[in-house]
């Protein structure tokens, strides 16, 4: 089993997107983040006893407005995102803000009687067992529990653990009183949090809550039905796999591992996916291999991308199977980056994949969709996805080629690892060595290893599934090791070494299973978007109908890559990475005529 090494992201597009996200986390007013918790606790916010002009307040609206039944969900996402940045960046400004927010949640809890710390009324959970309409109160409360747990795990806030412990006492009483309500609404994520709390504390009450939440009917469907997911709400079901996964790690019961793997089979292996990794439309699972049928402007809800990456990471850590790392890489470029506005950091709820698409971006204070929350979390996951260490402490794995640095102990030696883009200037993921050659590639990297004393261990380097060829040099000499199971493993006595890594990428296409003549075009893991309002069709072999359209810039990006222009077509137009599309009209899938 592998363990993620929390690293610091040092450069490239992932660093820039993290910085945009951090700025947004700090920009949001703490009182506004807490507004619905204050209202539920009866705490009057300064100067808001009467609100003559809502536009002049800093209150949050959309799904955070005091009239929405999901109000308050976003704060849990904020706590989780801030906590992870505190862990990887040692960010004291965020730490101060997080600690203050947790202390205010404790204040609200005390005003509510000592247990309940909700942004919604307690009766909302009772209403799930009545004819009264209610919109997913357990979903809302899960975010609060998750945020408090992560504030303890990643930011070291012990008060958060005390607050969530008292809230768990409330859940013990409620779940005993209303057992029929446990599996109603989007409650899937609760199982993972109870398992996490049991692992953190060993406290028996969390074991009781695990037992009450562990028998979700989806597990029975996965084990007994050929297709357990079609037309099911995608984001309500994925967190159930997280609960099974964390229970496997906590209990070592193989049943929970089998259930997590079964979920993956139903969600991905037997279903297929778009080139971007999406498997859903309008928030629901698409029937197996019917992606063309559901091609529209409401494909790939972002919450599902984020949560499927988390499922894939569980599976990768258990198995080391390269297919999960390849899936994560594809999702990072075509979900995490593509559904985040590169200028504002705001999310696109869906990723439209039909012809003539346009991304619809959220606002900073007036929407707060569910995907608003998972977006701020997603941009803090990169430090946990790049480097891993095996249980024996004798092997390191490079799973994602994200510029990072970290240090870890191996056999009593402190080992420092730095992964950077192999370039001569600028903070960017490209290759351009001015004094050696004119060739450039965004898939060229330098891995620097420095040990306190010479130490023997294995370095496993993922060879991406899209790489047509690769070159690896250690100390300037080509290595002799060959790829095995998707990795090149280099075992030697390490001291101070530089490993140069280069992957050869080519354009290729992926057809839709129910319309083989319709395909998306990719450059490595990057889906390309044509800047056109319609499916113009592409005629001829791919290598003949697209030409590179590289641009040298004076801005933060020295070379603009993965940009092409069509040639020899009835109508010629440009292709750019889907993650660079902001307000342009674009088309991803094209009819192919060879």
Give the pLDDT confidence score for residue 560 in this predicted structure.
Answer: 65
Same domain, 493 and 512: no
Whether 157 and 42 share a structural domain: yes
Q: Calculate ∠ Cα 433-435-438, nearest 5°.
A: 55
Is residue 56 located within the same domain as residue 189? yes
In-domain check, residue 225: no
Evaluate whether residue 98 is within a structural domain: yes
Tell me, yes or no, whether 500 and 520 share the same domain: no
Supply the pTM of this predicted model.
0.96
Assess whether 493 and 578 both reside in one domain: no
The Cα angle at residue 45 between residues 41 and 46, in degrees rounded to 5? 155
User: Are residue 492 and residue 521 in the same domain, yes or no?
Assistant: no
pLDDT at residue 584 in the model: 98
Tell me which of 504, 531, 559 is where a domain ends: 504
| Nearest residue to 246 (alpha-carbon basis) of 153, 323, 379, 373 | 153
Torsion of CA 536, 539, 542, 544, to 10 degrees: -120
Q: 574 is written with which tokens?
A: 């440009």
Whether the Cβ atoms of residue 416 and residue 26 lie closer than 8 Å to each other: no
Examine the domain organization and report whether 108 and 187 are in the same domain. Answer: yes
Asked whether residue 368 is assigned to any structural domain, the reply reads: no
10 Å Cβ neighbour count for 65? 16
Residues 491 and 575 in one domain: no
In a domain, 352, yes or no: no
Residue 223 domain flag: no
Distance from CA of residue 417 to its chain's centroid? 23
Tokens of 561: 């890559």
Tokens 């259930």 belong to: 259
Q: How far apart are the first and last CA of the chain?
A: 46
Domain boundary (439, 469, 504) is at 504
Residue 236 forms part of a structural domain: no
Q: Is 520 found in the same domain as 494?
A: no
Q: Is 157 helix (H, G, I), strand (E, B) or coil?
A: coil
Whether 439 and 523 map to the same domain: the answer is no
Residues 435 and 519 in one domain: no
The structure tokens 């800047």 sit at 531
Structural domain ending residue among the three candidates 176, 193, 210: 193
Query: Which CATH number is 494's domain given?
Result: 2.60.420
**Helices 12-27 and 370-378: angle between axes, nearest 10 degrees:** 130
Residue 55 confidence (pLDDT): 80
Q: Please report the sign of the dihedral spanned by the C-alpha atoms of residue 469, residue 472, residue 478, residue 483.
A: negative
Range list of β-strands (E), 180-320 = 280-281, 284-285
Helix (H) or strand (E) holding 488: strand 487-504
Instruction: Calculate the CA 534 to chain-centre distance.
Output: 30
497 shares a domain with 534: no
Parallel, antiparallel, or unpaired: how do β-strands 589-593 and 538-539 relate? parallel
C-beta neighbour count of 340 within 10 angstroms: 23
**Closest CA relative to residue 134, chosen from 124, 142, 122:** 124
C-alpha gyration radius of the chain: 24
In a domain, 322, yes or no: no
* Burial bucket for residue 179 (CB in 10 Å: 0-12, 13-18, 19+): exposed
- Owning domain of residue 491: 387-504
- Tokens representing residue 330 in the block: 């594809």
Q: How far is CA 139 from the centre of its chain?
A: 18
The CA–CA distances, whole Å, from 405 to 362, 433, 439, 488, 502 equal 32, 22, 26, 20, 19
Does 328 fall in a domain? no
SS (H, E, C) 306-352: HHHHHHHHHHHHHHCCHHHHHHHHHHHHHHHCCCECCCCCCEECCCC
Q: Give the count of domains, the chain.
A: 3
The mean pLDDT values, 10 residues at a time, for the chain of 594 residues are 96 95 98 98 94 87 97 98 98 98 98 98 96 96 98 98 98 97 93 98 98 97 97 97 98 98 98 98 97 97 98 98 98 98 98 98 97 98 98 95 97 96 51 45 94 97 97 95 97 97 95 97 97 93 89 58 90 95 98 86
Give the separation between CA 328 and CA 326, rounded to whole angstroms: 5
């Amino acid at each position: 089993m592998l363990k993620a090494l929390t690293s610091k992201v040092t450069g490239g597009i992932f660093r820039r997107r993290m910085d945009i996200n951090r700025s947004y986390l700090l920009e949001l007013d703490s009182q506004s983040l807490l507004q619905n918790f204050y209202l539920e606790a009866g705490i009057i916010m300064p100067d808001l006893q009467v609100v003559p002009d809502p536009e002049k307040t800093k209150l949050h609206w959309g799904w955070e407005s005091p009239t929405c039944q999901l109000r308050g969900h976003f704060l849990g996402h904020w706590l989780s995102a801030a906590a992870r940045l505190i862990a990887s960046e040692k960010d004291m400004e965020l730490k101060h803000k997080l600690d203050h927010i947790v202390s205010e949640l404790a204040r609200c809890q005390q005003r509510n009687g000592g247990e309940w710390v909700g942004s919604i009324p307690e009766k909302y959970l009772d209403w799930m067992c009545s004819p009264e309409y209610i919109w997913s109160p357990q979903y809302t409360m899960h975010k609060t529990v998750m945020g408090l747990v992560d504030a303890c795990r990643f930011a070291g806030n012990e008060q958060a653990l005390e607050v969530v412990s008292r809230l768990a006492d409330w859940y013990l009483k409620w779940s005993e009183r209303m057992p029929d309500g446990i599996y109603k609404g989007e409650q899937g994520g609760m199982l993972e949090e109870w398992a996490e709390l049991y692992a953190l504390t060993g406290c028996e009450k969390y074991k009781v809550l695990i037992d009450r939440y562990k028998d979700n009917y989806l597990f029975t469907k996965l084990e007994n039905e050929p297709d357990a997911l079609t037309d099911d709400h995608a984001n309500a079901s994925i967190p159930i796999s997280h609960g099974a996964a964390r229970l496997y790690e906590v209990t070592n019961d193989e049943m929970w591992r089998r259930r997590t793997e079964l979920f993956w089979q139903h969600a991905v292996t037997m279903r297929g996916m778009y080139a971007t990794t999406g498997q859903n439309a309008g928030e629901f699972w698409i029937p197996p291999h019917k992606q063309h049928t559901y091609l529209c402007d409401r494909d790939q809800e972002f919450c599902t991308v984020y949560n499927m990456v988390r499922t894939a990471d569980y599976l990768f850590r258990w198995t080391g199977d390269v297919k999960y790392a390849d899936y994560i890489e594809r999702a990072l470029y075509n979900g995490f980056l593509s559904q985040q506005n590169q200028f504002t950091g705001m999310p696109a709820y869906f990723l439209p994949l039909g012809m003539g698409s346009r991304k619809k971006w959220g606002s900073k204070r007036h929407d707060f969709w569910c995907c608003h929350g998972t977006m701020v979390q997603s941009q803090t996951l990169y430090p946990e996805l790049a480097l891993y260490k095996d249980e024996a402490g004798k092997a390191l794995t490079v799973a994602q080629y994200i510029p990072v640095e970290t240090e870890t102990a191996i056999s009593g030696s402190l080992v420092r690892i730095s992964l950077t883009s192999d370039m001569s200037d600028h903070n960017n993921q490209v290759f351009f060595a001015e004094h050696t050659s004119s060739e450039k590639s965004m898939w060229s990297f330098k891995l620097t290893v420095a040990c306190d004393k010479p130490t023997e261990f294995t370095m496993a380097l993922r060879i991406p599934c899209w790489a047509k060829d690769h070159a690896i040099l250690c100390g300037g000499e080509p290595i002799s090791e060959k790829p095995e199971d998707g990795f090149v493993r280099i075992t030697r006595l390490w001291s101070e070494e530089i490993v140069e890594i280069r992957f050869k990428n080519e354009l290729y296409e992926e057809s839709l299973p129910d319309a083989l003549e319709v395909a998306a075009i990719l450059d490595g893991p990057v889906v390309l978007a044509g800047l056109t309002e319609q499916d113009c069709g592409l005629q001829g072999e791919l290598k003949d109908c697209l030409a590179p359209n590289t641009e040298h810039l004076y801005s933060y990006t020295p070379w603009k890559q993965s940009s092409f222009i069509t040639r020899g077509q009835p109508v010629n137009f440009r292709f750019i990475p889907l993650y660079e599309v902001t307000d342009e009209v674009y088309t991803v899938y094209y009819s192919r005529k060879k």
